[in-house]
Amino acid sequence: MSRLITISNRLPISLVRRDERYEYTPSAGGLATGLKSFHGQNDNLWIGWPGMEIGQEEDQREITDRMKKDKMHPVFLTESDIEDFYEGFSNKTLWPLFHYFNLFTDYSPYTWERYVEVNQKFADEIFKVARPDDVFWVHDYQLMLLPALIRERFPHATIGFFLHIPFPSYEMFRSLPWRRELLNGMLGADLIGFHTYDYVRHFLSAVKRILDVDHSLGRIKLGDRVIDVDSFPMGIDYKKFANSIHNPTTIREVVKFRNNFNHEKIILSIDRLDYSKGIYQRLEAYDTFLSDHPEYQKKVALITVVVPSRGNVDQYQKLKVQLDEAIGRINGKYSTPEWTAIHYYYRSLPFETLTALYYCADIALITPFRDGMNLIAKEYVATKTDQQGVLILSEMAGAAKELTEALFINPNDIQGISDALHDALNMPSEEQRTRMQEMQSKVERYDVKNWAELFIDRMYEARSLNTRRREK
Ligand code: G6P
């Protein structure tokens, strides 16, 4: 059996510097959970950036050695790689454009050059440890050129690429001066996956219109290879969330929340700090709701959790200031000595607190302008084992395609979000249960392990198909 080599910009670890040494702990993000059973097998390997600059060669050698036992191989990025490749082209060009924020998009030829160089740097690290018959699974927008770079070196390798963010419509994508290079980079893969069928359509249309390469039912023929393009909606570790309420720490946290909010319905908002998430507009909608329905003042509370992210990128810094200001303004307008309209946490929360919050929340308010999938929506659904609670979800999130029993809103429609809050607060218990049950059965059936298995199986299918074609 060939080895599976997973490549993502970030390794699934958290690295800290303590007492002049670097220490890391494996972190269980969605992808790491999905790949856990595969990663544990054989000599499978995960290649990626440890998440901070490690300047000293000695430290780099030590980290590389230590990571071997966890089947990881680090790619060390310099300060300027981080600035130009990660904060630059990945997060000032691709991220905003793919989320339809074209006015935020920076078209810098310099950071593009650096993106090319750092993709090559990842490839060079791969070639130090990989073999031509390995199966390579490349993840996300930071590494779109990598499939073609691996293909160049290992023409018969099996390569998969999965994009975790939306693939935008052709009209958006075409504005990139480097559109051909990016498509050709992705087309180095045998299998290209997206969360939803819409992103598949957008990609196939861009390939047709930019490269003049056609497809038949999502299969592209390119030279002696076929490339399959399909949707694989990512799931979560359902059981972990559904069972979380049996954890004694979570139970203690639930009791605390219930005591603190015993007169209020909890509306929960959780995101990474990002302009694509529509957090500011969500706050405006809450303001509209409290002003349209003053009878709900003191009867609801909005808990807003914002997880710090990409703090060196201007737009993220501006958003942070905007949110602080809006929360201050709304609290100043409505709060009283006995009641706070918005409870604000700017940090990430431990798993037990997070799941306790999901469990206690009467409403999850998830209103992104664009979102590849949005796993928070699925986590909320999985945790609500009492089947009470309402999910208000943006129709622009990938998850909207599956969680069709949510209350849908258009994130630009402030009044619509405010009305949805009113509807959610008045939804009969039986209706909440029916909707929640339906969504739970979907999230349970197609969890993250199934997602990874399906994608990996399809990579092996692509491998045999392409081998047969070559041998003909
Ligand atoms: C999104 C992207 C991931 C990324 C994550 C966190 O989910 O699709 O590739 O790792 O955000 O962002 P960061 O910039 O901290 O890696």
pLDDT at 246: 97
One-letter amino acid for residue 225 of the chain? R
Q: Is 309 a pocket residue for ligand 1 (Cβ < 6 Å)?
A: yes
Q: Is 405 a pocket residue for ligand 1 (Cβ < 6 Å)?
A: no
Query: Which of 85, 161, 165 best tests ligand 1's pocket when mutated (most atoms within 8 Å of CB)?
Result: 165
Q: Which ligand 1 atom is at minimum distance from the Cα of 139? A: 9
Task: Flag residues of the chain having pLDDT under 50.
Answer: none
pLDDT at 409: 98
pLDDT at 189: 98
Q: Is 208 a pocket residue for ligand 1 (Cβ < 6 Å)?
A: no
pLDDT at 1: 66
Q: Which ligand 1 atom is at minimum distance from the Cα of 164? A: 8
Task: Give the residue numbers annotated as catalytic, written as ranges.
Answer: 164, 371
Cα distances (Å, whole numbers) of residue 127 to 43, 46, 133, 442, 454: 16, 13, 12, 40, 26
pLDDT at 349: 95
CA torsion 21→26→32→37, rounded to 10°?
A: 130
Q: Is 164 a pocket residue for ligand 1 (Cβ < 6 Å)?
A: yes
3-state SS class at 338: coil
Q: Is 371 a pocket residue for ligand 1 (Cβ < 6 Å)?
A: no
pLDDT at 29: 77
pLDDT at 20: 83
| Predicted TM-score (pTM) of this structure | 0.97
Q: Is 348 a pocket residue for ligand 1 (Cβ < 6 Å)?
A: no
Q: Is 165 a pocket residue for ligand 1 (Cβ < 6 Å)?
A: yes
Q: Which residues in 372-455 belong to E strands, given as ranges?
A: 390-394, 407-409
Q: What is the ipTM of this complex?
A: 0.98
Distance 25 CA to ligand 1 centre (A): 18
Q: How far apart are CA 400 and CA 377, in angstroms?
A: 9
Q: Which ligand 1 atom is at minimum distance from the Cα of 142? A: 9
Q: Which ligand 1 atom is at minimum distance from the Cα of 141? A: 9
Query: Which of 140, 274, 275, 379 best tests ligand 1's pocket when mutated (most atoms within 8 Å of CB)?
Result: 140
Q: How many CB atoms lie within 10 A of CB 427?
A: 17
pLDDT at 357: 98
Cα distances (Å, whole numbers) of residue 3 to 39, 314, 394, 452: 9, 40, 39, 15
Question: Closest Cα to atom 16, ligand 1: which residue?
Answer: 10
Interval 105-115: pLDDT, tens: 999 999 999 99
